[in-house]
Amino acid sequence: AQSVTQLDSQVPVFEEAPVELRCNYSSSVSVYLFWYVQYPNQGLQLLLKYLSGSTLVESINGFEAEFNKSQTSFHLRKPSVHISDTAEYFCAVTLSGNTPLVFGKGTRLSVIA
Amino acid sequence: EAEVAQSPRYKITEKSQAVAFWCDPISGHATLYWYRQILGQGPELLVQFQDESVVDDSQLPKDRFSAERLKGVDSTLKIQPAELGDSAMYLCASSLDQGPNNEQFFGPGTRLTVL
């Protein structure tokens, strides 16, 4: 079965600094990978996803993630964070077909002014 | 903008009581999911519906939890009796169809506290 490890439970970072949120997965077959964001007292929103093709995927608000098959990673990065990026970020994986999403435990990003 | 609706947003109950949560997916979405998110954890799938049929309920504690989607539209998740360990956020999500190509849209969740 697939699993997801988010290595950092909390990441504090100053405003306008770069950030990387780490995600590693384990699976013996091809996977689809996702990053979701959860703001306080809200549901999850899809940030970006890797299904196939280019290994670098981008979101509309400046985040990007790179699928690295050899390192089984899908780290999320942003070159310059804003206060509004403060939220919980979840990495998730699913296999091809109709298998459920498996989420990591989440990383709480706190942007400090 | 279409959204997944859930009610109530917050529920406090005593252990051994029955509770029910309601979810109204985005119109036209055939696939509906119920997740449980324990504080400090990621969401875990409880049950998945395709129209009115259950596709996956392998992680649903069937001795106390039940879920239905009778007309293939809205859905209800019930817990009877509630236990202290059931305190969590219950999230509903919907997608046009099954599979990773179909984005799951999440509702705001119901936060359950069992005393």
pLDDT, tens only, B5-18: 999 999 999 999 99
Q: Is the preceding peptide bond at B8 cis, omega within 30 degrees of 0?
A: yes
The reported pLDDT for the residue numbered A41 is 79
The reported pLDDT for the residue numbered A28 is 73
B25 touching chain A per CB within 8 A: no
| Phi/psi at A83 (5° precision) | -55, -40
- Chain B: nearest CA to A11, how far in angstroms? 14
* Amino acid letter, residue B45: L
Nearest to A43 among B40, B45, B106 (CB): B106
Nearest to B107 among A43, A90, A100 (CB): A43
Sheet holding B19-24, edge to edge: B5-7, B19-24, B75-79, B65-68
Question: Which positions in chain A touch B1 (Cβ < 8 Å)?
Answer: none
CA distance A2 to A40: 28
The reported pLDDT for the residue numbered B72 is 87
Cβ atoms of A2 and A100 within 8 Å: the answer is no
- Which chain B residue has the Cα nearest residue A99? B99
With a cut of 70, which residues of chain B have pLDDT below it?
A: none
Nearest to B100 among A45, A90, A94 (CB): A94
**Cα torsion angle, B10, B26, A99, A25, sign:** negative
Residues A35-63 pLDDT 10s: 999 998 788 999 999 988 889 999 988 99
A45 burial type by CB count under 10 A (0-12 exposed, 13-18 middle, 19+ buried): middle
CA distance B53 to B68: 9
The reported pLDDT for the residue numbered B30 is 94
Percent of chain B with pLDDT over 90: 86
A106 touching chain B per CB within 8 A: yes
The reported pLDDT for the residue numbered A97 is 64
